[in-house]
Structure 1
Amino acid sequence: MRTLLKIIGIIILLIAVYAVIAVLFFSKDYHYEKSITINAPKEKVWTYVGSLKGYNAWDPFSKADKNIVITYSGDGDKIGDSYHWKGDKNVGEGEQTITGIVPNEKMTTKLHFIQPFEGDAKATFVVAPEGNTTKVTWMIDNELNAMMKIMKPMMNGNMDKMFGQGLEDLKKLSEK
């Protein structure tokens, strides 16, 4: 029993040390990106990347709730166009607004999260030809609070899974 208590105490101490190191030394700036190569011309891929309505055809986050409610403002392909989503506890609530667009090349958006936590992030989609294929890079940047710094390794794993799933769905749609 004494040995078990020592092991539990050491585990708790290690977790506390990790949390202190994460809060004090991990950068507050968070950047994650993932790319995929698609066997389709960039103009075809752009139809799914260069508009919010096209994006929602492959977006893995909104697919997590079958009853999600999405409301668009604008056509979804011009600066200032946006969409608002409201879903269950897994999806939350927020808004995504186009802040920059270079047709067939790049779109940037501002993500404003309302639920389950308040926050902002910047998403960027870059489409570039590579020979007879198209490379799509999906990026997200935001600022981490102390709790999110502690959770950064789990965030990276979740982002890798979700971005991978989304980009694979984009590939399937674009290669039809």
Structure 2
Amino acid sequence: MKTFLKILGFLILLIIAYAVIAMLAFSKDYHFEKSVVINAPKEKVWQHVGTLKAFNEWNPFAKADKNIQITYSGTGGQVGESYHWKGNDEVGEGEQTVTEVIPNEKLSSKLHFIKPWEGEAKGSFILTPEGNGTKVTWTMDNELTTMMKLMKPMMDSQMGKMFGQGLDNLKKNAEK
């Protein structure tokens, strides 16, 4: 029994040490990005990222709830285009609004998360020529709360999985 309590005490001490280190060492600024090279010209790839409706055709976050409710507003592919989503607990609720458009090169947006937690982020799709294809870089930037700093390694893992799945979907769609 003493050995078990020593091990348990050591594990608790490790968890506390990690929490303190994470809160002090991890930056509040969070940046995540993932890229893929698509065997298609950027004009063809742009058809799949240049509007929020086109994005939601391959968006893995929207695909996580087959009953998601999405309402679009504004003109597709222009600053001010937006959509509101409301889904299950995994998808949550929020809004995304286009803030910058450089046709065939870049689309940036502001994300406002409402549920399950309140927050904001900025996202971008950046298209650059690479050989005979197009490199697509999907980025997200936001500010982490102290508690979110503790979850950063899990966030990196989940974001890597979802961005990777989305970019794979985009690649399949754009290479048809």
State the TM-score, normalizing by the size of structure 2.
0.99
Q: Secondary structure at the match of 1:61?
A: helix
Q: Does 1:87 align with 2:90?
A: no
Question: Could you report, residue by residue, the CA deviation over 1:81-124 in whole angstroms, capped at 9, with x for unpaired residues?
Answer: 10000000000000000000100000110000000000000001
What's 2:121 paired with? 121
Comparing 72-81 and 135-144, the one that deviates more:
72-81
Q: How many residues align?
A: 176
In the alignment, structure 1 residue 62 sits paired with structure 2 residue 95: no
Aligned Cα root-mean-square deviation (Å)? 0.6
Deviation track 1:137-172 (CA, whole Å, cap 9, x = no partner) reads 000000000111000000000010000000000000
Instruction: Give unpaired runs (5+ residues) of structure 2.
Output: none
Following the alignment from structure 1 to structure 2, what is the Cα–Cα distance between the partners of residues 75 and 92?
Answer: 25
Give the whole-Å Cα distance in 1 for the aligned partners of 2:145 and 2:158: 18
Q: How does 1:1-176 map to 2 (within 5 A)?
A: 1-176=1-176
Deviates more, 1:126-135 or 1:79-88: 126-135
Q: What is the rounded CA distance, in whole Å, between the counterparts of 1:42 and 1:172 in structure 2?
A: 14
Q: Which amino acid aligns with 2:130?
A: E
The runs of at least 4 aligned residues of structure 1 exceeding 4 Å deviation read none
Alpha-carbon distance in structure 2 between the residues aligned to 1:129 and 1:115: 37
**Structure 1 spans left out of the alignment, 5+ residues:** none
Shift of 1:76: 2.7
Give the TM-score, by structure 1 length.
0.99
